Structure 1
Amino acid sequence: MPESKSKFLIPTIGAAVVITGGIAAYMYFKGGPAGDSAGALGSAKVVPSTALMATYITTDPQVWAKLQQFGTPEAQQLVAKGLESFNQDLLKDTNISYENDIKPWVGGVMMAVLPPNPVKPAQFTPPTGAPNKPTKLQAEPKMLLVVGIKDKIGALNFGNKLKAQKGITFQEIEYKGEKITEATDKGKPTYTVVLNNSQLLLSPEKPTIEQAIDTYKGQPSFATKEGASNILSKGVDVKNTLAQIYIPDYAGMIQQLAAANPQGTQLPPQTLKQLQQVKSMVAGVGVDDAGLRVKAIANLDSQLNKFQYQNTAAKIVGEFPAETFALISGQGISKTWTTLIEQSKDYPEFNQAVAQVRQQLKSVANLDLDKEVLGWMDGEFALGAIPANQGILASVGFGGAFLFDTSDRKTAEATLSKLDDLIKKQLVTVAQRTIDGKNVTEWQVPQQGALLSHGWLDQDTVFIAIGGPVGDAIATKKNQSLDGSETFKAVTGTLQKPNGGYFYIDMDKTMTVVNRFAAAKPLPPEANAILTSIRGLGVTATSPDKSTSQVEMLLALKPKTAK
């Protein structure tokens, strides 16, 4: 994949998942505030239309209380400790209490990112004696915070109490009939304004507050911006919404942020074309009976978008044993590869790298990358990690297995035969063995057992396993399959269907492997407490049509247990 595309296009929805998930985690472990999610549109009406993105965090205590149904006693103690530490750090050297003075009056919170102001060359004077050469200054994006006021008297009392704090100086500035308050603490100013006694706006930049007042007075707002109004009104369908993020112009946002980077250069036309595939996107995080759920939706330009997820029946998941602790599955590697090659024809560096791989495979193994390696992978596929403590896997504790459904068994067999012939020249024994009635080929290392094995589970499904015990586990179906296990059903059972495949982690089994490697240096107690409160992680993606792409993630949490 071209570096530029992988950097900007592919992580689009994933980035939103991370951002909203991070916000939710922060608010949870720092003690969530109190309001409702209906104020996103109202908050957006005072955000300037130039805003690149906005995030709205609900402060409804009933919603945040839903998170309290999860967690081990250790995790709950960590949350309590985090809240106490947050309050102490936030209100250090003051007599203000977050719980008593702030929480009661705060409504929903919107955080908006505005583009940086352009820096003119005349604004910069190089130091005496410095070389006279072009210098690009870093222009930081502007931040605007819109806080809903649900208790006017409580907000007024807080303001008066804040003004009484030592070391903070205040100055009032009038702008278009509104009073802007400049509060300076340790030389750093913060500007605030209260609009219509219902919204408190904060920013470290006075011009940002002035722009918001202009918006309040009638200038175009984020709520009416093309692309934003639709995603603001629709949002994302998650229960008990904690936060939502809105990006009305993805390509425009990346362009402006890239231009603000001091090391940034103008985006090449081919990169911009890739970015323009994504028109807008919205993501949300909520909490339900299974845990923390994140959904993201990207609206795509159907004329530019050449790639579309293929839905899969996920039958191949049933070929893995229940003890599989991590899995990635999907559909149609060959079609994805063809589309990628087509879309990457304008990227010489990528094409050069592909040409080198093709040449190496041809010279070393006499294999054609496009036809003999990837061409026959046209059905479902999956990669799974399976615990194993024998043979060559004894030192690591697990191995892996690749499974592919194919409509071209002849080519697949020919490819594997070429690989067998190649490995024979490396002093590795290639032997045949029958496992549960299936003919399996093994690459055997003296005194260590099988390094790799491959065979056919049925007419269309081939497996390649790392480690003899893993090959045995795949070839024999004596025990329960992964799709029938309670953890897999709990983690993936409520994800959207049909879909393009799964990313799945069983946290308990994964922690067994992690702790094995961390025996000499155990994980910090805080990290261990959080990880052991997680049952698993499930992610899936789908593209119902060429103009829509969706990602859903469930962080399945364990129910709260008594101390």
Structure 2
Amino acid sequence: MPETKSKLLIPVVGAAVVVAGSIAAYMYLKGPSGDGSGALGSAKLVPSTALMATYITTDPQAWEKLQQFGTPEAQKLVAKGLEDFNKEMSKDGNISYEKDIKPWVGGVMVAVLPPNAAKPAQFNAPAPGANPQIALRQEPQVLMVVGIKDKLSALNFANKLKAQKGVKSQETDYKGEKITQTQAETGEPTYSAVLNNSYLVFSPEKPIVEKAIDTYKGQPSFAAKEGANSILSKGVDVKNSLAQVYIPDYPGMVRQLIAASPQGNQVNPQTLKQLDQVKSMAAGVGVDDAGLRLKAIANLDPQLNKFQYENSESKILGQFPAETFALISGQGISKGWSTVVEQSKDYPEFKQALEQVRAQTKLVNLDLDKDIFGWMDQEFAFGAIPSNQGVLASIGFGGAWVFDTSDRKTAEATLTKLDNLAKTQQINITTRNIGGKDVTEWQIPQQGALFAHGWLDQDTVFLAVGGPVAEALANAKNQTLDNSDSFKAIAGSLQKPNGGYFYLDMDRTMTLFNRFATQTQRPIPPEANAVLSSIRGLGITANSPDKSLSQVEILLALKPNTAK
């Protein structure tokens, strides 16, 4: 391998993402033509040894839908990036995506293949003092399969590419198919072949193109791999699909990537064993009226899956005020903790750390398993709420933890122990009534309450950082989070039932970011601000209908395009 090539996975996959991303950026603004039905056809040209594959559609309807989002600033930023991309393409040979590439490009599949078995002659000698084992690592290989929807336009592009000044082309025969090597004066060679006049296969490595030809000639393909045909045919159900990712053998993929990593020999064998819980994965990204939506599906081994999933009714969201800008909710912390404790038996280092934490909590008369996690057996939520009062004045927000429990007695006993511990630290413990509820506060002189806790109803307890946050929870006079327009727009369309939510209101979060940036005199770069300001929020949820299936859904809620 050339010395300049990285031995890490990230640059390799990153290069493929840049190529695909550049195409995607152009399609976003210009609107391509094509369809998203070619994933299975493309996969028939990918060798069965491929670890994963991503299919990017060129369906115009999907990409045109995306254009309805984005602030004018974000639209200008993408347009400038596209302009720079076009200038770079046309710098040496007057290549235009609009005229030369767009007319013939169909769907694009990017496949990641494992490293070839290395021969000593393939490597340069390790640098003095280098670890030979690390120096001899190889990175996974990348193969791109591009659908050809207009053969004449594709031929014209190929001829134009060959005619570029400073570009050398050389054709060789492999099993009756032509492989074209193309190399600019200052770049590395690339290799491509046109198969059945319908697909262009492309790679920086000639052996990878040869493998694609072997597959075309009848060798096992990615499409025929166990589990692959099903996920390729079904895909993931998202509206206006932009891209689909397919991983038919998840544990096998991760093991091979770890083996190719310089740190691969540092991975705990028990960690590798955990990989076997997941059989295969598929993910899809699409665009709908709310924004960009990603869905991922993992097929699990029910015999190895130890996680005890529970649906959450999410009634606890009604305990938070509408201005809550970040939240994580779920169900059954105590069961999750029990699973962690059970699995720690297979990880000596983690088990030792766990025992150390248990020992530390015992010093303050708390049993980690019983007093802290034992009573957290029902719904829970952690939220961030803005406030500029009291101890929160300098940071602008406080935190709240709300738990439903079936064991109020143990929860009250734990809070009493915490209050007594605070008293030993010269903290003043007071009680006041807020909205008809008794709230215990840890008072800091001249600043107000640092911490507070109380019961919102018979089975629901809250803990709050900052007196104003406790007031917002206990008063409960205003609109609640689950009924707010922001929550409905960001998380309201996510799958139900589910195990809980991750919720982030970007507008309120940006207010805090800008505040910190002003205080530290380090303003957010205009480009980053343009992108962040076009996002309304982020919503994530997951569910598991049974022990053989897990599903995750992510919505990047976007603001509508207001440009005239």
TM-score by length of 1: 0.93
Contact map agreement 1:283 1:297 (CA 8 A) in 2: yes
Q: Compute the displacement of 1:68 (Å).
A: 0.8
In structure 1, what is the Cα distance between the partners aligned to 2:16 and 2:133?
A: 38
In structure 2, what is the Cα distance between the partners aligned to 1:471 and 1:483?
A: 18
SS at match of 1:455: strand
Q: Compute the displacement of 1:20 (Å).
A: 13
CA gap of 1:390–1:261, structure 2 versus 1, over 3 A, is same
Say yes or no: does 1:296 pair with 2:316.
no
Contact map agreement 2:126 2:135 (CA 8 A) in 1: no
Where does residue 144 of structure 2 map in the other structure?
145
Q: Compute the displacement of 1:134 (Å).
A: 5.9
Say yes or no: does 1:155 pair with 2:165.
no
1:192-341 map, 5 Å = 192-265=192-265, 267-341=267-341
Q: Compute the displacement of 1:139 (Å).
A: 0.4
Q: Compute the displacement of 1:138 (Å).
A: 2.1
Contact map agreement 2:238 2:284 (CA 8 A) in 1: yes
SS at match of 1:138: coil
Where does residue 517 of structure 1 map in the other structure?
516
In structure 2, what is the Cα distance between the partners aligned to 1:536 and 1:276?
A: 34
Where does residue 5 of structure 1 map in the other structure?
none
Q: Compute the displacement of 1:267 (Å).
A: 4.7
Q: Compute the displacement of 1:427 (Å).
A: 1.4
Where does residue 348 of structure 2 map in the other structure?
348
In structure 2, what is the Cα distance between the partners aligned to 1:133 and 1:516?
A: 49
Residue deviations 1:439-477 (CA, integer Å, cap 9, x gap): 100000000000000000000000000000000000011
Contact map agreement 1:24 1:242 (CA 8 A) in 2: no
Contact map agreement 2:112 2:141 (CA 8 A) in 1: yes
CA gap of 1:277–1:411, structure 2 versus 1, over 3 A, is same
CA gap of 1:167–1:467, structure 2 versus 1, over 3 A, is same
In structure 1, what is the Cα distance between the partners aligned to 2:130 and 2:511?
A: 58
Contact map agreement 2:239 2:287 (CA 8 A) in 1: yes
In structure 1, what is the Cα distance between the partners aligned to 2:430 and 2:17?
A: 49
Q: Compute the displacement of 1:344 (Å).
A: 2.3
Residue deviations 1:175-224 (CA, integer Å, cap 9, x gap): 00000001111251110000010000100111101110000000000000
Where does residue 549 of structure 1 map in the other structure?
550
Contact map agreement 2:89 2:96 (CA 8 A) in 1: no
Q: Compute the displacement of 1:272 (Å).
A: 2.2
Where does residue 420 of structure 2 map in the other structure?
421
In structure 1, what is the Cα distance between the partners aligned to 2:357 and 2:423?
A: 22
In structure 2, what is the Cα distance between the partners aligned to 1:172 and 1:439?
A: 82
In structure 2, what is the Cα distance between the partners aligned to 1:129 and 1:27?
A: 42
Q: Compute the displacement of 1:118 (Å).
A: 2.0
Where does residue 10 of structure 2 map in the other structure?
none
In structure 2, what is the Cα distance between the partners aligned to 1:103 and 1:181?
A: 21
Residue deviations 1:137-192 (CA, integer Å, cap 9, x gap): 12011110000000000001101111110111111100000000011112511100
Q: Compute the displacement of 1:84 (Å).
A: 0.8
CA gap of 1:328–1:289, structure 2 versus 1, over 3 A, is same
Where does residue 189 of structure 2 map in the other structure?
189
In structure 2, what is the Cα distance between the partners aligned to 1:24 and 1:444?
A: 56
CA gap of 1:129–1:429, structure 2 versus 1, over 3 A, is closer
In structure 2, what is the Cα distance between the partners aligned to 1:331 and 1:146?
A: 44
In structure 2, what is the Cα distance between the partners aligned to 1:47 and 1:151?
A: 22
CA gap of 1:28–1:465, structure 2 versus 1, over 3 A, is farther
Q: Compute the displacement of 1:435 (Å).
A: 0.5
SS at match of 1:92: helix
Q: Answer with 59-68 or 131-140: which moved more.
A: 131-140
Contact map agreement 2:100 2:157 (CA 8 A) in 1: yes
In structure 2, what is the Cα distance between the partners aligned to 1:133 and 1:391?
A: 59
Where does residue 534 of structure 1 map in the other structure?
535
Contact map agreement 2:383 2:399 (CA 8 A) in 1: yes
Unaligned runs of 5+ in 2: 1-13
* Counterpart code for 1:75: A
CA gap of 1:117–1:501, structure 2 versus 1, over 3 A, is same
SS at match of 1:541: strand
Q: Compute the displacement of 1:306 (Å).
A: 0.8
* Counterpart code for 1:259: A
* Counterpart code for 1:546: K
* Counterpart code for 2:538: L
1:417-496 map, 5 Å = 417-496=416-495
Contact map agreement 1:281 1:298 (CA 8 A) in 2: yes
SS at match of 1:457: strand
* Counterpart code for 2:253: M
Where does residue 4 of structure 1 map in the other structure?
none
Q: Compute the displacement of 1:85 (Å).
A: 1.2
Identity across the alignment (%): 71
User: Aligned residue pairs: how many?
Assistant: 545
CA gap of 1:495–1:26, structure 2 versus 1, over 3 A, is farther
Where does residue 7 of structure 1 map in the other structure?
none
Q: Compute the displacement of 1:368 (Å).
A: 0.3
* Counterpart code for 1:412: A
Where does residue 84 of structure 1 map in the other structure?
83
* Counterpart code for 2:98: E
Residue deviations 1:247-287 (CA, integer Å, cap 9, x gap): 11111111111111123217543222200000000000000
Q: Answer with 125-134 or 157-166: which moved more.
A: 125-134
SS at match of 2:497: coil
* Counterpart code for 1:354: L
Q: Compute the displacement of 1:25 (Å).
A: 7.0
Residue deviations 1:516-556 (CA, integer Å, cap 9, x gap): 00112221111111111111110001111000011000111
* Counterpart code for 1:559: P
CA gap of 1:102–1:240, structure 2 versus 1, over 3 A, is same
CA gap of 1:129–1:454, structure 2 versus 1, over 3 A, is closer
Contact map agreement 1:57 1:242 (CA 8 A) in 2: yes
Q: Compute the displacement of 1:29 (Å).
A: 3.8
Residue deviations 1:356-379 (CA, integer Å, cap 9, x gap): 10000111x210000000000000
